[in-house]
């Protein structure tokens, strides 16, 4: 066989393996190693215009959960409409909704049994007849996103039209805590141009002159403000340094004066 033709066939076959997609309901986002007391969760998404009967579906693998059976009084729970999402979690659905402000149009099922391993695991969803709907094997090694391993970010599917169970199709959420029930925003890994670059002086993540949001009302905000879902729209913003001064400080000096309270 002509070598060039052979190479073309090999390349095409490799692309076909990654490019084929048969899943219609996909695993869309996964919080497997949350920070603090935040819950674990998995988001499923119907990426077609066809509604699905999800009554008695089953979550299997490292965690197990049986979806509700059909109930005429709560018939809506048995169907996943076109473009709709379902969240599966390890805590009570009501508590999850309250914590993340999940709208009523998004189904939340739980709690499941077991836990998602931090060093990698397997997630499988089957319909009531045992037929596989979707599956994912994730890991904290290799080229899987580091930000999803305990830093508060989620694994996020990049393209639902490509193979889901493939590390090349996964990134991490730009927003800590992810976006359960919403549309995820992908984070971007910061590339290092050369492995021989000198990092002894460190990499600047935050600088004095960065723009900060702050609250100077001298009130106890409790712990709610630490959550990703907290609304800080009423907070002021200003560039650092922030503070008070009785006399001029050396450069860069106070750039934003805060209220004394």
State residue 225 phi and psi, 5-degree precision. -70, -15
Cβ neighbours of residue 232 closer than 8 Å, sequence gap 6 or more: 213, 215, 225
Residue ranges, comma separated, of all CATH 2.60.40.1260 domains in the chain are 21-172
Q: What is the CATH code of the structural domain delimited by 21-172?
A: 2.60.40.1260
Cα separation, 54 vs 33, whole angstroms: 27
Residue with tokens 């359960």: 180
pLDDT in tens, 27-72: 999 999 999 999 999 999 999 989 999 999 999 999 999 999 998 8
Segment-wise mean pLDDT, segments of 10 residues, the chain, 261 residues: 41 39 86 95 94 96 96 86 94 96 91 97 97 96 94 94 94 92 68 49 59 80 79 82 74 75 61
Instruction: Enter the pTM of the model.
Output: 0.65
């Amino acid at each position: 066989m002509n070598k060039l033709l052979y190479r073309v066939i090999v390349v095409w076959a490799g692309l076909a393996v990654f490019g084929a997609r048969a899943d219609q309901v996909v695993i869309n986002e996964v919080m497997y190693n949350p920070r603090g007391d935040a819950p674990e969760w998995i988001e499923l998404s119907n990426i077609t215009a066809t509604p699905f009967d999800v009554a008695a579906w089953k979550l299997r693998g490292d965690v197990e959960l049986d979806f509700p059976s059909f109930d005429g009084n709560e018939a809506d729970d048995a169907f996943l409409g076109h473009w709709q999402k379902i969240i599966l979690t390890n805590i009570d659905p009501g508590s999850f909704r309250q914590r993340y402000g999940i709208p009523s149009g998004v189904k939340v099922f739980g709690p499941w049994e077991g836990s998602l391993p931090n060093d990698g695991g397997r997630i499988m969803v089957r319909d009531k007849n045992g037929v596989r709907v979707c599956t994912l094997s994730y890991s904290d090694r290799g080229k899987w996103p580091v930000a999803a391993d305990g830093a508060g970010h989620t694994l996020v599917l990049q393209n639902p039209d490509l193979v889901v169970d493939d590390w090349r199709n996964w990134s991490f959420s730009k927003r800590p805590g992810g976006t359960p029930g919403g549309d995820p925003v992908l984070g971007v890994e910061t590339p290092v141009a050369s492995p021989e670059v000198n990092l002894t002086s460190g990499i600047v993540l935050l600088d004095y002159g960065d723009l900060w949001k702050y609250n100077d009302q001298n009130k106890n905000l409790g712990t709610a403000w630490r959550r990703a879902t907290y609304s800080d729209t009423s907070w002021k913003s200003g560039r650092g340094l922030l503070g008070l001064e009785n006399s001029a400080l050396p450069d860069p000096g106070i750039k934003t004066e805060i209220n004394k309270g």
